[in-house]
Amino acid sequence: MDTQTSNSIARPWYRRPARLVLAGLTALILVAAFYLWFVLLSPFGHQPPEGYPAIDPTREHKVFVYGTLRNPLVRLVVMGSMGDPRPATLPGYRKQGLDLAVEPGSATEGLVFIVTVEQLRRLDRYERIGIRYERFEYTLEDGTRAWVYRRLPE
């Protein structure tokens, strides 16, 4: 048996840092992917609170977003589509952290887009309806009615 082969066989696992780092990164990526799937897309883990109004499948649903959902990649992961957003303004509110605060004379810039019933359910899940946010229908500056997610009081 040559010396090089016998040395690699006898080396303990902690002497192979490249393999250890690669295994750790692979495990981290898999855990992160599972977490994102579970939190954003899976049918497990979050159900709307009891008594929350059902989503009407017979009508068109528009959503106004002013935070993380303005990012097309976030919308792609959450809704399965980037949507077809257009700029919109919500009058009488200003963005305050993760929420909107009523402030006459001010306005919040964002995007509005049409979603399917399934996409609205996914958005409800992402926003954790009844736990972190509630969904309200407001009139935008151009007269369009759209769903807006507002943070629940802590």
Question: What's the predicted TM-score (pTM) here?
Answer: 0.74
Distance of alpha carbon 41 from alpha carbon 136, whole angstroms: 22
Contact 140, 90 (CB under 8 A): yes
The pLDDT value given to residue 143: 98
Chain centroid offset of residue 138 CA: 21
Give Rg (Cα) of the chain.
23
Q: Is the CA virtual torsion 58, 131, 44, 35 positive or negative?
A: positive
| pLDDT tens per residue, range 11-41 | 666 667 777 788 889 999 999 988 877 776 6
Burial class (CB in 10 A: 0-12, 13-18, 19+), 113: buried
Contact 111, 123 (CB under 8 A): no
| pLDDT tens per residue, range 86-142 | 999 999 999 999 999 999 999 999 999 999 999 998 899 888 888 889 999 999 999
Distance of alpha carbon 154 from alpha carbon 151, whole angstroms: 9
Nearest to 126 by CA among 89, 80, 84: 80
Contact 84, 135 (CB under 8 A): no
